[in-house]
Structure 1
């Protein structure tokens, strides 16, 4: 665990240069806008430890997997959203000496991520080996107001004497991915131009053939006056401009870089040139201060609907805003072809592609803060991949339209390269089905079932029906050779969560058939005929639901994570030597698999999803049994435990788990933030407050709240969009307030009682 980030309500602040933490900071201070993202690499040259990263949504490479590809049905590649053109590049010589913070004396250093305004700011003072002292200030933005563009301002001041500065502004396509399986370069150089004030560089991905054009314009100024005497940088896959300037003591030399990046994923190749020139010209006409104001205005609209305010706990306040900020930097919901990678645009790990995290954790956040259209786009993403999901299942021997959604994908095709994950962690199908249920429960958009959802549900149901088998010994249906959410168990039989979700999916699909038949009979008959459903198939599903096996310990009255779980030596996590943690970095995989330790919520994940099916005592018993065995070495774990702890009346544990999930990256709990941020689990931070502390659920078509407030907080508030109504919820020590900011009345449930809230009305209740 690290603790070097200064606590502040709206800013992430690093107050000194820490080379050992540089890659962690590069992740923490990342910026993005949903179309592109950039790690917080230094603009100038840096020879110290660094992971250079500039990423474009939808631009990927199918990197050939190192293992398993010879096995039948095994993916031949791992899709990666790859490192793209380095657009931030600045090269600085001070009296002929290169500016490199790894080699100069850094006297002062501050890096600030301004979350309120969407800006990355860095200020430092350095003494060169030649004795010259300089001050550098930089501001960087990935524009939220025009998402395929970016800009930065870079300023150098002479502090102790006159100096000669050579300053270059460039684009560089000679980039690598550290995680390339065979040290392969993923890009081919296509060409460049050096006309007038603009330069452009065009690169194409190997194999996938995505064409990316990056346009650059640079403005150099000395003491506020333009420098027009510039030289072109002209090299293979590298273009730009440079100037030489004598700078007197206390004077300032500055550069503004304007960048437009367009790819053939979003536009036809023939339009890339005109788009680049048009948008770059529009940017070039504007002073950098104007762009900053536009960025501030764009982010203020996000915060108006998504902000969570906490009074009395600056650490918690900073953390929740950081999580919300990074979520909206990663995904804005404007394009149904895009999704949310576990690391977003902040690192290479996990390839920037889609996991089940989106449906299980991200959907509730976007549904409540952005409205149903964005949430629907996340579901439509999966609908568009249904045929690929059927193909994925066919490769494994499934038939009749059975659909297995991939564990990892960017185009619908499975591309994960670990057997126990790819072919055994099939519970992801359950999360996708649950997301459909959760969306309809929240929005009342029953029409989605007829237009999209039912076909997905039927494909998933067919998979489950074929994946189980009848146990003549037990006289029940069982599911063998799976991996549940707890990835510290592989190839187990009858994982309770997987069996439970499979049965629930069959049940919900049957229910959905009736709903569509009632609401859209023509569509029902069309789907029934198209998918060749038979009454006998539906009867088979009912039989599976009735006779599914669920491991259970009658003595403890808890659900067993899988068959044989009680054969393990049940030693609580508290008895582990702290030096042994995290297990995934200290223990062999063999030792982990034989232990009782749980990576993340497994049985408890099922109780979270389907809590209405279980009484409070059942949930309490299972929490009391499994939480002491859970090491929380998945970023997805603490939030589920926080929500359940809140539900069962354990506010201290709920708060502890909230801080852990909220500050997971800021404090580097799992010693892996240098790989990139845990974007999808950040939505779990929001869930910890809204579903945990505020106790928000949907019951009988209404929002229901059963709140508590951590004892060290004075108040917290958040915004919710629900069925065309915008609410602001505020919880204080003793009061619960609901402000209806809409023109439509709404009924809510508060501690079991129904309350009517008129348009524009503020209602207060005692907690």
Structure 2
């Protein structure tokens, strides 16, 4: 039985609320986060809110090394835990009506409502207080990535004359909640005023780890009806004061525009300062409506391809759009130095750094919904960090390259051993993304050049990480953590062993196709790889007909989740870690993750036996879990289970399934709702470079439709009473629907099977 907490209203294009959720303000803040790929913030009020909440504003690529060093530090441990940090708080204002401050936690607020409009990326909230109706609109510009816009409107509604004062801040006195708890990260380099505002230049404080110090330059300027009456610097913040008298039945507006530049993009402070001045000047004659229209147009272009239309379920429709909106607010591929943090701009948990989620879950979505260069930039991100991965392997006394579990630079910066150096299966997911890109696009140029450079070093790692068991005449991998993080330090995880052997085989095959003498892979090395592939050990059980998750798993007390008292769930919030590790319960797809990756290698009967065995043991307490189960359930004809898992992944955050969304959204797993529809319900497959579909329609839906980019073509797939395939751009294509060959030249309409 699912346990959900639904704060926000249901609307196909909006996230709405009619009250300030003071007991769940953090959750409400997470759900109303916005960003533009360059920067973003949680749904914090700009005004004072003195009750519990989580203030959070973040700039992509700006981070700091956590001082924490575990007490049991050993050789090979990372020196620090890299963390995304709170940037300057530039949304902050203090509002006074007749000299009474508006504190939205304590003041007599009436008629509150809030809406995040996902169609154009604008958050609006309104309330009435002290005889004034206040409306606040904010957006982070997609058209001008360094720009955040905050518009305040004040309407006199009680017939009295009111004075309104707004104090506008850029505040460097900020801290994180998830790392370096009591430290300030920013020291002021310079502050000053302009004719129409103020600016603050700050730099991250020095650190003992040699991590670069980042500089931010934020400038605030104003348009509207208010007079700028005072400017000062106090307590680490520049503060501008603006005043006006509000007559009866009139509305005053104040537009606060903030531009934020980072040292990541400029050679020196002088260049950054010149760019800030030029940017502010270029925006000075641009109206709010023009900025808003540019924002709407930018989002319209994205939605034209990305939108998934669902008929018959507003809940399902809202879920998929919310996830796509937050994904594209976090990353749209403009900068190959960036990747997709698991919390994006919505929180600090997990450090905000790069995980294997990108390669396993995000790449398929971006391949289909964005220009191929977006995915290629994700691949380049890893290639650019190959030296760091080689360093990580050397730290463990191993050959080749070990890509990090958590990173900003390529060097591992996660200091939990069972995650960092046992969960090495991510070193297979990264090569898999190279294969996925090549297979999906048909473009082999990346594989032949940068791709092989990554593959060879990763293959060398796996060849060194395995060991030979003379007793069994098999190669094995001991001391790992598989995707199921509810078991640590286990031996022969089936998924990890399968990935390792696949990397060795795929790399050897690719070298045969694209010889690279410069990579110095000799015949002896290739022969060793071939021997490992041939003799890799895969735990199996003949009686059950399943792949065994790891040695010893079947010796556990295999009690299904359905027999647990629901009060135990989620396990990670009710059980000790020791109890979880000894239990049979699976956090997310493990064996099933491998079957999903290599689905063309297994029969439907093999998939069924493994799904029927492992899904009942799975608690789905990883945000990455439901989508894989939904996809496989759909392939097996378990339509109700597929829909159940879709609902869980689509509304994981909106309904707070795992009681952890207050910390921030699960950005990378938001791809799961799209995967569940496209690869699950529609059964889109690209096995061996061949595109195929086998759609079904959920009973509660009237229909659904989506677009995909595929090998220079744009296709639309609609599923209702019939299946309609349309070729909107590009040349005719041969594909399969329900196993039958179809030549798609314009439109094909088929019966749903």
TM class by smaller structure: over 0.9
Instruction: Give the match for residue 354 of structure 2.
Output: 354
Shift of 1:699: 3.4
Is contact 1:66-1:181 (8 Å) kept?
no
1:219 aligns with 2:223: yes
Shift of 1:234: 2.4
Shift of 1:247: 2.3
How is 1:540-555 mapped onto 2 (pairs within 5 angstroms)?
A: 540-555=528-543
Instruction: Give the match for residue 315 of structure 1.
Output: 315
Question: CA separation in 1, counterparts of 2:596 and 2:242?
Answer: 60
1:7 aligns with 2:10: yes
Question: CA separation in 1, counterparts of 2:470 and 2:577?
Answer: 34
Question: CA separation in 1, counterparts of 2:645 and 2:340?
Answer: 23
Question: CA separation in 2, counterparts of 1:395 and 1:673?
Answer: 35
Question: CA separation in 1, counterparts of 2:404 and 2:533?
Answer: 24
Instruction: Give the match for residue 678 of structure 2.
Output: 690
How is 1:347-386 mapped onto 2 (pairs within 5 angstroms)?
A: 347-386=347-386
Aligned-pair Cα RMSD in Å = 1.3
Shift of 1:687: 0.5
Instruction: Give the match for residue 647 of structure 1.
Output: 635
Shift of 1:579: 1.1
Instruction: Give the match for residue 117 of structure 2.
Output: 114
Is contact 1:69-1:75 (8 Å) kept?
no
Question: CA separation in 2, counterparts of 1:68 and 1:290?
Answer: 55
Question: CA separation in 1, counterparts of 2:404 and 2:228?
Answer: 55
Residue 741 of structure 2, aligned match among 733, 747, 754: 754
Instruction: Give the match for residue 521 of structure 1.
Output: none
Shift of 1:354: 0.1
Shift of 1:578: 1.2
Residue 99 of structure 1, aligned match among 64, 77, 102: 102
Shift of 1:14: 1.2
SS of the residue corresponding to residue 243 of structure 1 reads strand
Residue 483 of structure 2, aligned match among 485, 491, 498: 485
Shift of 1:232: 1.1
Is contact 2:83-2:179 (8 Å) kept?
no
Instruction: Give the match for residue 22 of structure 1.
Output: 25
> TM-score normalised to the size of structure 2?
0.97
1:405 aligns with 2:406: no
Cα distance per residue 1:457-503 (max 9 Å; x no partner): 11111111111111122221111110000000000011111111111
Is contact 2:34-2:40 (8 Å) kept?
yes
Is contact 1:123-1:135 (8 Å) kept?
yes
Is contact 1:258-1:284 (8 Å) kept?
no
SS of the residue corresponding to residue 144 of structure 2 reads coil
1:717 aligns with 2:705: yes
Change (3 A) 1:176 1:440: same
1:123 aligns with 2:110: no
Is contact 1:87-1:259 (8 Å) kept?
yes
1:33 aligns with 2:36: yes
Is contact 1:192-1:237 (8 Å) kept?
no
Question: CA separation in 2, counterparts of 1:699 and 1:473?
Answer: 37
Which deviates further from its counterpart, 176-185 or 429-438?
176-185
Instruction: Give the match for residue 749 of structure 2.
Output: 764
Instruction: Give the match for residue 242 of structure 2.
Output: 243
Instruction: Give the match for residue 429 of structure 1.
Output: 427
Question: CA separation in 1, counterparts of 2:228 and 2:166?
Answer: 12
Shift of 1:189: 0.9
Question: CA separation in 2, counterparts of 1:702 and 1:557?
Answer: 29
How many residues get paired? Answer: 742
Instruction: Give the match for residue 498 of structure 1.
Output: 496
1:452 aligns with 2:450: yes
Shift of 1:250: 3.3
Question: CA separation in 2, counterparts of 1:601 and 1:220?
Answer: 54
Cα distance per residue 1:232-254 (max 9 Å; x no partner): 13225311421233323433332
Question: CA separation in 2, counterparts of 1:55 and 1:39?
Answer: 9
Is contact 1:258-1:280 (8 Å) kept?
no
Cα distance per residue 1:499-519 (max 9 Å; x no partner): 1111111111111111213xx
Which deviates further from its counterpart, 710-719 or 246-255?
246-255
Question: CA separation in 2, counterparts of 1:181 and 1:572?
Answer: 40
Which deviates further from its counterpart, 246-255 or 559-568?
246-255
Question: CA separation in 2, counterparts of 1:350 and 1:200?
Answer: 31
Residue 419 of structure 1, aligned match among 413, 417, 420: 417
Which deviates further from its counterpart, 364-373 or 273-282?
273-282
Q: Which runs of 5+ in 1 are unaligned?
A: 127-131, 222-226, 518-523
Shift of 1:229: 4.9
Instruction: Give the match for residue 209 of structure 2.
Output: none
Instruction: Give the match for residue 657 of structure 1.
Output: 645
SS of the residue corresponding to residue 180 of structure 1 reads coil
Cα distance per residue 1:679-716 (max 9 Å; x no partner): 00001111111100110011342311111110111111
Is contact 1:202-1:214 (8 Å) kept?
yes
Question: CA separation in 1, counterparts of 2:7 and 2:29?
Answer: 14
Instruction: Give the match for residue 224 of structure 1.
Output: none
> TM-score normalised to the size of structure 1?
0.95
Instruction: Give the match for residue 537 of structure 1.
Output: 525
SS of the residue corresponding to residue 697 of structure 1 reads coil
Is contact 1:159-1:250 (8 Å) kept?
yes
Instruction: Give the match for residue 604 of structure 1.
Output: 592
Instruction: Give the match for residue 195 of structure 1.
Output: 194
Instruction: Give the match for residue 520 of structure 1.
Output: none
Cα distance per residue 1:707-729 (max 9 Å; x no partner): 11101111111111111111111
Which deviates further from its counterpart, 7-16 or 640-649?
7-16
Shift of 1:17: 1.7
1:526 aligns with 2:518: yes
Shift of 1:4: 2.4
Instruction: Give the match for residue 572 of structure 1.
Output: 560
Which deviates further from its counterpart, 411-420 or 85-94?
85-94
Which deviates further from its counterpart, 87-96 or 113-122?
87-96
SS of the residue corresponding to residue 337 of structure 1 reads coil
Is contact 2:600-2:687 (8 Å) kept?
no
Is contact 1:559-1:603 (8 Å) kept?
yes
Instruction: Give the match for residue 302 of structure 2.
Output: 302
Residue 585 of structure 1, aligned match among 573, 578, 582: 573
Which deviates further from its counterpart, 90-99 or 603-612?
90-99
Is contact 1:11-1:318 (8 Å) kept?
yes
Question: CA separation in 1, counterparts of 2:444 and 2:747?
Answer: 30
Question: CA separation in 2, counterparts of 1:69 and 1:405?
Answer: 23
SS of the residue corresponding to residue 607 of structure 1 reads helix
Question: CA separation in 2, counterparts of 1:192 and 1:268?
Answer: 20
Is contact 2:308-2:705 (8 Å) kept?
yes
Is contact 2:714-2:730 (8 Å) kept?
no
Question: CA separation in 1, counterparts of 2:315 and 2:607?
Answer: 30
Shift of 1:69: 7.1
Cα distance per residue 1:623-653 (max 9 Å; x no partner): 0000001000000000000000001111110
Is contact 1:109-1:124 (8 Å) kept?
yes
Instruction: Give the match for residue 60 of structure 1.
Output: 63
Instruction: Give the match for residue 206 of structure 1.
Output: 205
Is contact 1:390-1:404 (8 Å) kept?
yes
